[in-house]
Structure 1
C-alpha cells in the first residue's frame, strides 16, 4: 500500500503542466519526495533554483487534476500488470539514469532485470537483407555465453529479428516502444511481444492511451541507446532513424559498433559511414565486442575474486567503502557508487583514481567502475 501511495504522487508529478524532466528532478531533490512537492508551501518552492511564480501557480492549479489522472492510471497499471518505475526506483535502469534527458517515469511490463550486468542494444533498417538477418542472428547467438540482455525497438527488420533470435537463444530481451504500455506496434509482432513478457519485457515512457505517432520514435531511440553498454548497428541507410540512434548513443559517450557491409548496398551505407567517420567500431565477431567492453578482463577478475578473499586492512575508510560495494556488485555506475558507498561525488573521483593506481578497480565505458580482485 505504501508503494501504491508513493506511485500516486510519482505519476501525478509527471502530469503537472509546465513541469519537465529537469524541473521534476530539481523539485524532488529539494523537497525530498514527489508527495512533499505537492505539500510544499509556495514560499519553499520559490527558493528552489529554476522555480518561479508561474510554475508555482501551475503546481497549485494543476495538482488536483494530476492526482485524479494518476489514480486512473494506477488502476489501469494494476489491471494490465504494468510496473511504474520512477527514476528513484531501484528497478529503474541505472545506465539510463545517467543521461541528461532520461525519462522521469517508465512503464514496464515483464520480468526482465533492467539493470542486468550486460545489456546490448541492436538496431537497424526495416528493409533487412538476408545478410543482415544472418548477421543479426549470429550476433545474438554469440552473446549467449555472456548472458547479455538484448534491447531493441520491436519494429520490422533488424529489431524483430534481434528479439526473435534472443527468444530462441534463451536470452532476455526488452522491446522499447513509442506507444503506451498497452499498445504493441506493429500489431503483427504481438506474438513475440507476448513471449517477451516472460523473457524480458516491454518498456515505454509514454502513458496509457498514447499512439505511436512519428515524433515519438526518435524519443524512443534515446532510451534504446541510453539503457545499454553498447549499441550495435547491423544495417542502416545513410539517412535513417537507425543512424539517429547511433548518433544519440555516441553523444551519450556510449560505445557504438557497426557491421561492415557491401559497399554497393544502400542498407550498408549507414554502417560503413559510422565506421569511416569514427563514430563506431567495426563489428566482425563477438570478440570485437568483448574486447571493446573489457568483458574478458571482468570475467578474469571475477574468477580470481571467487578464489581470494578481499583484505581491506591496507585501505582508507573511503576506499574500503567503495571496495565493499564493488565486491558485492562487481561493477557500478559512478553515481550509484557514490550513493551506495555514501561518498560525495566530488570526493569519489580521487578515491577511484587511488584504487586504480593500486590495481583494485578499472574504469569502464559509460562512467562505470569494475573491481579487479
Structure 2
C-alpha cells in the first residue's frame, strides 16, 4: 500500500546517518522500505557500504512517530509527493545517485517531454546579469523550456519572473518545507508560479530554514534539468556548487563570461577557464550545444513571415542553404566565411523569423 511505503520511507529519512543513497541501497538488497525496518540488524550489516554507524539509530521509535506526524501534515494540506521508484517522479532525477527518495511538490508541475533548464547565479545580480537572464529566457521562449531555479534573491527570482512573463512553466526548488516561503518578500510570486509550475523540496514541515540546507536544495536544481546555466558568481558561492553537482551528474554546464576585474564574474570565468563549463554568450550557444529543436506542436510559435526582412549575414546563409539544401552549422560557417559562434546566433534569429528550421543531427535547411 502506497501510504505504508511512504510512511516507511519517511521513517528511514529520520535515521540520522542514512542518506538517500544508503536508503536506496538497503531497499535494493532487502526488497522494500517496510522490510528494511523489520530486517535483522545482523543481516543489514552484511550489505556493502552499510555499517554500524549508519543504522545504529534505525529502530528508534521516535522516527516512526515523526514520520506519522509528517504524513498527517501531508494529508491535511494536500501536499503532492513523488516516490523515487514510481511513476510521476522526475525522470532526470531518477538517474541521480543521491536523488531524494521522497520529493514533495505544490502547484501544477508537468515535466513530461519537456526541455528543462536550470538557471542560477548570485543574489547580488548586476544590471548586466539581469539583462542577460531576461534576454536568454525571452529568446528561448518559442522553444517552450521549463525554467528551474532556487526562488532566492537575484538571478533566481529574475529567472522565475521572466519565465512567468513569457508564460513558461517554472519550478522553484526550496531549502525548507512547503509550509513556509523564504525569502518572505517572494510570497507575492507564489500564486503566479504555482499557476504554471510550482515548487519542489525534500525538506519536511518541521525543517526550519537553514543555510546548510542549500546543498540539498542545489542537488535537486541540478538533477531536474538537462543543463545548468550560471549567470554571475563570485569566486565562491552556491551557484558554483550547483554547477559542480550538475557536472557530477554528467549534465551540461554553461557560464556567462564577464570582465576579468568584475568580482561577480570571477566564478563564471573560472568555470570557463578550467573547462568545467561551456561559455554562454547567447541563447544560440545553448541551443546548438544541447541540440534543442522545436517540437512539432511548438512549430506554430514561430511562423514564417511573408516578405521578412533579412540582415546581410542572414541573406548570405539563406542563399547558401537555398542553393545547397540542408547542412550542418560548421559547414555553413566555412562556406559563408563567417565565425562559427556568429553563425549560431544568426541561425537562431533566422529560425525565430521562420525562414529556416533545424533538423536532427544539428542540420539546418530553408523552411
Would you call these one fold, judging by a TM-score over 0.5?
yes
* Deviation of the 1:290 alpha carbon: 1.2
- What is the match of residue 306 of structure 2? none
Corresponding position: 1:11 with 2:14: no
Aligned residues: 300
- After superposition, the Cα gap between the structure-2 partners of 1:101 and 1:70, relative to the gap in structure 1 and judged at 3 Å, is same
- What is the match of residue 339 of structure 2? none
Secondary structure at the residue paired with 2:259?
A: coil
Corresponding position: 1:271 with 2:268: yes
- After superposition, the Cα gap between the structure-2 partners of 1:116 and 1:14, relative to the gap in structure 1 and judged at 3 Å, is farther
Bigger CA radius of gyration: 2
- What is the match of residue 109 of structure 2? 112
C-alpha distance in 2, partners of 1:23/1:169?
Answer: 41
Deviations 1:2-52 (A, max 9, x none): 432332222222123443323211221122221222233456545533445
* Deviation of the 1:162 alpha carbon: 0.3
Residue pair 1:116, 1:149 contacting (<8 A) in 2 also = no
- Unaligned stretches of 5+ in structure 1? 304-361, 364-373
* Deviation of the 1:204 alpha carbon: 1.3
* Deviation of the 1:289 alpha carbon: 1.0
Corresponding position: 1:295 with 2:292: yes
- After superposition, the Cα gap between the structure-2 partners of 1:145 and 1:212, relative to the gap in structure 1 and judged at 3 Å, is same
- What is the match of residue 28 of structure 1? 27
Residue pair 1:92, 1:114 contacting (<8 A) in 2 also = no
- Write the mapping of 1:1-373 to structure 2, written as runs, cut at 5 A: 2-42=1-41, 44-51=43-50, 58-59=57-58, 61-62=59-60, 64-296=61-293
Residue pair 1:258, 1:272 contacting (<8 A) in 2 also = yes
* Deviation of the 1:54 alpha carbon: 6.7
Secondary structure at the residue paired with 2:229?
A: strand
Q: Over the residues paired in the alignment, what is the CA RMSD in angstroms?
A: 2.5
- Unaligned stretches of 5+ in structure 2? 300-359, 362-367
C-alpha distance in 2, partners of 1:56/1:236?
Answer: 39
Deviations 1:154-201 (A, max 9, x none): 111100000011111111111111112212110100111232222111
C-alpha distance in 1, partners of 2:244/2:20?
Answer: 22
Deviations 1:128-153 (A, max 9, x none): 11121111111111222222111101
Deviations 1:214-239 (A, max 9, x none): 22113322221122111111111222
- After superposition, the Cα gap between the structure-2 partners of 1:148 and 1:58, relative to the gap in structure 1 and judged at 3 Å, is same
Secondary structure at the residue paired with 1:151?
A: strand
- More displaced, 43-52 or 74-83? 43-52
What is the TM-score normalised by the length of structure 1?
A: 0.73
C-alpha distance in 2, partners of 1:48/1:246?
Answer: 32
- What is the match of residue 340 of structure 1? none
- After superposition, the Cα gap between the structure-2 partners of 1:46 and 1:291, relative to the gap in structure 1 and judged at 3 Å, is same
C-alpha distance in 2, partners of 1:137/1:158?
Answer: 10
Residue pair 2:15, 2:55 contacting (<8 A) in 1 also = no
C-alpha distance in 1, partners of 2:49/2:269?
Answer: 43
Deviations 1:30-88 (A, max 9, x none): 222212222334565455334456766643x32x3322222211111122222222221
- What is the match of residue 330 of structure 1? none
